[in-house]
Amino acid sequence: MQNQFIQWNVKSSKWLSILLLTVSFLFGHVVVYAEDDPAVGGTKVQRLKLTDREKEQLDKLDAQEQFMTLLNAPEFLSIETLNEISFDTRKLAFYRFNDRQYRKFPRIFYDFIEQRLMDKFLKARRFSVHECFECKTTRILLKEKQFSVLRQLDSNQALADVGEKIGVDSFVIWEGYMYKGEPVLNLRIVTAPDGQVIWSQQYQAEPDYEYEWEFYSSMWGLSATRASTGAAADFSISPLTNIGFRTLSRSTITDRLYYGYGLEAFFNTIDRDKIGIIGLSLNAKIALEIDAVFGMKKKSYGNWLIYVSVGQALVNAKPVILSKGGFEMRLNRRSFVSIGGVYLPDTQFSEDALSGYASSATLGGFSYDVTIGFRF
């Protein structure tokens, strides 16, 4: 049977589009591209650092809206990134790698992504963008009563022929898909004559377990006492003020686990002429997110945490173990408060001479810990 070859534009016929969609799911196709040039150094992966608010929104949005958030990120195809492309690249056309397994969205949404990509390249004012209708055309090959559905650019030679026909020196080949619930965009620029990869980039959201910093201030109900050596009563002071910095990171073991390391300074602000406390603490904190207990799910941060903290403290140069624990609640995407307890073993330290009182004071015990802080 003589081979029959028919080429149509998919847009021109509604019933043919339905037929092509059915056939393409039944019979896959193979598209051949040039391999990455080792000299290029491989694909660059750029993780976009989204704000906490954007991350929170991503968990609530469907896949198409997640892509829109990724495309709107300031770091996406920035001018600095586009300037990395060789200045020999001037005339471009866009071609989407249409793998069957990535057909998750309607065609109009892929057109939206491509339009956003074009806008980014045009704003750089060093590229001319050409429309490539051949890149969006589907071919049907009928051979021995079997259908094959092929894209127009199914080989490097086809890439070169189309590039010469529309007058471009390079193609921006791109693909968008979901990976582990996160949007991913792959882009590479290949030369039209020989298919050489001259630039590549991958965009995806930055993992949630990247570091954050906490600055916080606490009030501890611990009491320090200085014994009387005369008729006066023993003298005590309370509470103590604590100021600290801490790193915070989401664990890679589970999204519900957080850990961090902090440096703190604690002291009393009243009656320092009678008891003067200056302490430092280096500590580690582990926290478990318990949002599910309150029915709050799919947050990129813990609204409710239960935590413990243990560290080495120096109380007026005397070493002692300091431990804390309690509940933490995020007031909004930046600030938080925690309520818990703090424990410090009784520690005796020297004091300046004071008439009618001992030459030392004692700090320690178990009491409350109230903290308010800010993350950035």
CATH 3.40.50.10610 domain extents, the chain? 4-205
- The model's pTM is 0.49
Name the DSSP letter for residue 109. Answer: H
CA 143 to chain centre: 49
CATH 2.40.160.20 domain extents, the chain? 212-375
CATH of domain 212-375: 2.40.160.20
Q: Which CATH number fits domain 4-205: 3.40.50.620, 3.30.465.10, 3.40.1010.10, 3.40.50.10610?
A: 3.40.50.10610
- Which pLDDT score, from 0 to 100, does residue 145 have? 60
Q: Amino acid letter at 209?
A: Y
Residue whose C-alpha is closest to residue 327's, from 369, 364, 295: 369
What are 147's two structure tokens?
């259908």
Strands (E), the chain: 4-7, 44-48, 91-96, 128-130, 138-143, 146-151, 170-179, 182-191, 197-205, 212-220, 223-226, 235-237, 240-250, 257-267, 278-289, 304-315, 318-330, 335-350, 360-375
Q: From first to last of its 376 residues, what are the pLDDT tens digits of the chain?
A: 434 333 434 344 444 444 544 444 433 333 333 333 333 444 455 555 555 545 544 444 467 777 888 888 878 888 888 988 988 899 999 998 765 545 567 778 888 888 999 999 998 888 999 998 888 776 655 666 665 555 556 788 888 998 999 999 999 999 888 877 778 889 999 999 998 999 999 888 765 445 688 999 999 999 999 998 887 889 999 999 999 999 988 787 777 888 999 999 999 999 988 899 999 999 999 999 887 776 665 444 567 889 999 999 999 989 999 999 999 988 877 889 999 999 999 999 988 888 888 989 999 999 999 999 998 8
- Which pLDDT score, from 0 to 100, does residue 41 have? 43
In SS3 terms, 272-324 reads as: CCCCCCEEEEEEEEEEEECHHHHCCCCCCCCCEEEEEEEEEEEECCEEEEEEE
d(CA 316, CA 324): 20
End-to-end CA distance of the chain: 71
Cβ burial, residue 344 (10 Å; 0-12/13-18/19+)? buried
- Which pLDDT score, from 0 to 100, does residue 314 have? 93
- Which pLDDT score, from 0 to 100, does residue 187 have? 92
Residue whose C-alpha is closest to residue 302's, from 338, 275, 274: 338
d(CA 35, CA 198): 11
Q: Amino acid letter at 146?
A: Q
d(CA 318, CA 315): 5
